[in-house]
Amino acid sequence: MTERLDIRSPEDVVRVRQRVRALAVESGLGLVDQTKVVTAASELARNAIDYAGGGVVDLEVINGTRRGVRLVFEDQGPGIPDVELALRDGFTTGNGLGLGLGGARRLCSEFSIESTVGKGTRVCCARWK
């Protein structure tokens, strides 16, 4: 079953972190994997607020041949003109260190990003047991 959370404020980022942690525990992920997926979720939720004015995340526990957590972040923001550049460590269009997207990708077992300028961005990530 998929659960959807709105991401509009810093409080929502905390709520996303808490919910992802609970689902990671439910899925049987160990402490290190829980921490990795929660950190990735935090980065992606924060990006949705900072760069797109907010968005949503769909959270899902997977208990099939693979066990873990899948997250899909979507926003209707300005989009990312050059995804490969945005994934490169040190690149930022804001005030951060430029480690968010690339770091989130490294923390996940699976990671994909689709972005269309003027329409928004969709990031799908998963952490498997």
pLDDT tens digits, 30-88? 999 999 999 999 999 999 999 999 999 999 999 989 999 999 999 999 999 988 888 87
The model's pTM is 0.92
- Strands of 120-128's sheet in order across: 2-7, 55-63, 67-75, 120-128, 110-116
- 36: domain CATH number is 3.30.565.10
Q: How many CB atoms lie within 10 A of CB 117?
A: 12
Q: Which two tokens stand for residue 30?
A: 């160990």
E strand or H helix that includes residue 125:
strand 120-128
User: What is the span of the domain harbouring residue 108?
Assistant: 2-128
Tokens of 61: 């526990």
Q: What is the pLDDT of residues 7-35, one digit of tens each?
A: 999 999 999 999 999 999 999 999 999 99
What's the pLDDT score for residue 100?
Answer: 76
- The domain total for the chain is 1
